[in-house]
Structure formats: structure tokens, C-alpha cells
């Protein structure tokens, strides 16, 4: 089916709306409403992601998904070999696809269909990643009820086309300086232990503090609320790595509601006898070296520009950088000039301050933003 002039205008309006003021929660709300007029769907899940690890952060927007099905969403993504996984879409050129196409018209081959989609009455799924360069800044999962027309190739192309502008919008919001929060009484790492089923067993005072920073009123010291989807995703990735199903990092970086950069890491423990033990999740204030990859990714620096920027941050001179990277001093100057233009600075000192000081202060996306649940 050809794209009509009306649809083209709607797509242009959607892309233009991505540049409108507002936070990431408002962005997802606006784009969802506009997209649903062009590509009808009956349910959806929107996640911002850490562009380096692709783990879900916040905001999260859930539409017409039963609460009981949300808890194991990321477990299926990392622990079950399935069709149309986000990591596979991230490696592909298109960045979008449907479950029916991925299973050759036999969706029941998919565990996600049998355990997540079918029980809720959904018959097809369209997934997409919001990619910019090598970074995935968000993902989208759309569902259509059984009995309706499945998602078409034209609709897949349309959704794929809005990926880059949405990624650009999410990246821009990641670089927006939030209002600095109050002084923090706790700066140390917090530890929480989870059993093999992902149930919270115990946590210390620092972990309680950081979970409160991330989830706000949603955290009651008992079960993980949807605002802490990042914890669920990190846990699932840790289990997958321990089982040999994934080799990705078991850590993520994000900002809390007060704007504090945090780092989260999960590790599967073992008993002295070698049996699987609990999973430890460590949450702590992020070091500048931990957030630097996200910041340089957000400014779309090339790999070479990233190398030179990191060398500048270490205090190396242009001749020293040139010798270390086997480049001419002239080439280093050209790369630095390009970096200055992308970051919006005019000196080495401003560059270091912009990348490693300004963004180290008190959001990839402010994680205390509420998780949006929509029913229609």
C-alpha cells in the first residue's frame, strides 16, 4: 500500500513534535497518540534505554498491558531464546519488524507469544529500536489484538522511519541539565539481594536510599515497582550472562529524580559448594569514567573523536595525543575542532567541563519520573 499524502503530513508532524519542549514522559505520550492514528495498535510498551548497554531505564510508558505480565517482561527478553528480540533488531539494518514475519506466520513458535501476547488477546507484535549511530536510546513494543489485520510491511517501514528522530529527541533530553537536587546525606554504595526468581530478599540502608531516589513514592521497601524496571532488566541480564545466554554488560547508568547520576551493577553469586546463590545488585553514585561513554555517545562523537576527547580529559597535549594514536598533530587539531563544534565549546577546558563536570552533577532520563500506565 502506498503512503498517502495525508500520512506523510502526519509523519512530518510527528517528527516535528519530537523537537517540542517537554521531558521524555511527555515525548512518549505525544508520539504514542500521533503514531496510533497512523499505525493502529491496541497495546504498547515504550522504554528509554541506556544507549551503551541497551538496558531499560526511564521513562516507561505501558499501554493496555495487564500488571501481572509486566514483571517477567525483561526476563523473557534475556533468558529465553526467542524471535524478534531487541538485541537482534539493534544489530539489523532496519531496526523494526513484526513477530508474524519473524516466525513465518507461526507466532506460537515464540515463547513471548504463548506466555505474554496470547493470554492478553494479542495476535501480532511490532517491535522497533530508536537508534542513533551505534546507540539505542529507546525501544518500542506494539501489540494488535487477535482477529485484526496484522501489522503490514508499510507500517513497519513507517515505525522504523521515526526511530532516528525519536532517538535524537531522547538523546537531547539526556543532555538537558535538570534542576540540582538537595544535598545527599548518603553517598556510598547500596546492596540488595534477590533470589533466583527475582524476589527481593534483603537490602541495606544505602540501597533503600537509592531505590527511593529512583522510584519515589512507588518504592515501599517490599516489591519492585514499575519505576524500578531498570533493576529487573539488570537482574535478567545477569541471569542470562551466568547461564551463557548473553555476553552483554550487567550494568547500567541513569539519573535519579534529583538528577544524581547512578551506576547499577548485578552479579550472580554462588555458594561455597558451587551452587547458584542470590543475585547482588549494587547501586552507587556514578564515577565520571562510568558516565563518560554515555555523554560522548549523546554528542554523536566518532570513535576517533571519543579517543581524542578522553585523552584531552587526561590532560594530554596535542603532540602527546598524536604520538599515542599514531596521527599527525594537524589531524588531532582537526578532530578537536569537530568535537568543539558538536559539543558547543571553544576550548579544551570548556570541553572537559562540559563532558565530565557539568553532566556529572545532579538525568540519562530522570528515573524518578512516573511510569505511565494507559488503558483504553
pLDDT at 260: 73
pLDDT digits (tens, 9 = 90+) for 236-282: 889 888 888 887 778 888 777 666 778 899 999 988 888 888 999 99
Question: What is d(CA 237, CA 225) in angstroms, rounded to the nearest whole number?
Answer: 18
pLDDT at 230: 82
- Extract the C-alpha cell encoding 153: 510491511
pLDDT digits (tens, 9 = 90+) for 147-172: 999 999 999 999 999 999 999 998 88
Question: What is d(CA 206, CA 228) in angstroms, rounded to the nearest whole number?
Answer: 16
Buried-exposed string 50-74: b where 16+ CB fall within 10 A, e elsewhere? bbbbbbbbbbbbbbbbeeebbebbb
Buried-exposed string 234-248: b where 16+ CB fall within 10 A, e elsewhere? bbbbbbbbbeeebee
From residue 130, how far is each of 46, 87, 108, 119, 310 by CA, in Å? 10, 12, 27, 28, 26
Residue carrying the nine cell digits 553532566: 359
Distance of CA 274 to the CA centre of its chain: 33
pLDDT digits (tens, 9 = 90+) for 66-87: 877 776 788 788 778 899 999 8
In what helix (H) or strand (E) does residue 143 lie, and over which residues does it extend? strand 135-145
pLDDT digits (tens, 9 = 90+) for 185-199: 567 899 999 998 888
pLDDT at 374: 75
Residue carrying the nine cell digits 590532560: 315
More confident residue, 6 or 318: 318
pLDDT at 181: 45
pLDDT digits (tens, 9 = 90+) for 176-230: 544 444 445 567 899 999 998 888 999 999 999 999 888 877 788 888 877 787 8
Structural domains of the chain sorted by starting position, each given as residue range(s) with its CATH number in brackets: 5-176 (3.30.450.40), 190-285 (3.30.450.20), 289-358 (1.10.10.10)
Short-list 181, 174, 170, 172, CA closest to 361: 181
pTM of the shown model? 0.69
Question: What is d(CA 140, CA 35) in angstroms, rounded to the nearest whole number?
Answer: 12
- Extract the C-alpha cell encoding 63: 499501554
Could you tell me where the DSSP H helices lie in the chain? 5-17, 24-38, 67-70, 73-79, 86-91, 99-102, 111-112, 153-161, 163-174, 205-215, 229-242, 288-298, 303-313, 318-325, 329-343, 348-352
Amino acid at each position: 500500500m502506498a503512503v498517502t499524502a495525508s500520512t506523510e503530513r502526519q509523519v512530518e508532524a510527528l517528527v516535528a513534535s519530537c523537537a517540542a519542549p517537554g521531558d521524555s514522559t511527555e515525548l512518549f505520550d505525544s508520539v504514542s497518540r500521533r503514531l496510533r492514528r497512523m499505525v493502529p495498535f491496541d497495546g504498547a510498551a515504550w522504554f528509554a534505554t541506556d544507549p551503551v548497554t541497551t538496558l531499560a531505564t526511564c521513562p516507561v510508558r505501558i499501554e493496555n498491558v495487564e500488571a501481572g505480565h509486566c514483571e517477567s517482561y525483561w526476563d523473557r527478553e534475556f533468558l529465553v531464546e526467542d524471535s524478534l528480540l531487541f538485541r537482534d533488531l539493534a544489530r539489523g539494518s532496519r531496526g523494526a519488524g513484526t513477530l508474524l514475519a519473524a516466525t513465518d506466520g507461526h507466532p506460537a513458535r515464540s515463547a513471548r507469544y504463548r506466555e505474554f501476547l496470547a493470554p492478553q488477546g494479542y495476535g501480532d507484535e511490532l517491535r522497533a529500536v530508536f537508534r542513533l549511530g551505534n546507540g539505542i536510546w529507546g525501544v518500542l513494543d506494539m501489540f494488535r489484538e487477535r482477529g485484526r489485520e496484522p501489522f503490514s510491511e508499510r507500517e513497519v517501514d513507517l515505525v522504523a522511519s521515526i526511530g532516528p528522530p525519536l532517538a535524537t529527541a531522547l538523546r537531547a533530553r539526556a543532555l538537558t541539565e535538570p534542576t540540582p537536587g538537595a544535598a545527599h546525606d548518603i553517598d556510598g554504595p547500596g546492596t540488595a539481594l534477590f533470589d533466583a526468581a527475582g524476589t527481593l530478599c534483603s537490602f541495606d540502608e544505602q540501597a533503600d536510599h537509592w531505590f527511593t531516589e529512583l522510584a519515589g513514592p512507588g518504592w515501599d521497601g517490599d516489591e519492585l515497582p514499575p519505576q524500578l524496571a531498570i533493576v529487573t532488566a539488570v537482574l535478567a541480564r545477569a541471569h542470562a550472562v551466568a547461564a551463557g545466554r548473553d555476553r552483554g554488560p550487567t550494568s547500567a547508568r541513569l539519573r535519579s529524580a534529583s538528577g544524581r547520576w547512578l551506576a547499577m551493577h548485578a552479579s550472580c553469586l554462588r555458594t561455597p559448594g558451587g551452587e547458584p546463590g542470590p543475585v547482588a545488585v549494587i547501586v552507587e553514585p556514578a564515577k565520571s569514567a562510568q558516565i563518560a561513554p554515555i555523554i560522548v555517545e549523546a554528542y554523536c562523537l566518532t570513535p576517533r573523536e571519543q579517543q581524542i576527547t578522553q585523552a584531552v580529559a587526561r590532560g594530554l597535549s596535542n603532540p602527546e595525543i598524536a604520538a599515542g594514536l599514531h596521527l599527525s598533530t594537524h589531524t588531532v587539531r582537526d578532530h578537536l575542532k569537530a568535537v568543539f563544534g558538536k559539543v558547543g565549546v571553544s576550548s579544551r577546558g570548556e570541553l572537559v567541563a562540559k563532558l565530565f563536570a557539568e553532566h556529572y552533577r545532579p538525568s540519562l532520563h530522570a528515573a524518578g519520573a512516573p511510569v505511565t500506565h494507559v488503558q483504553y
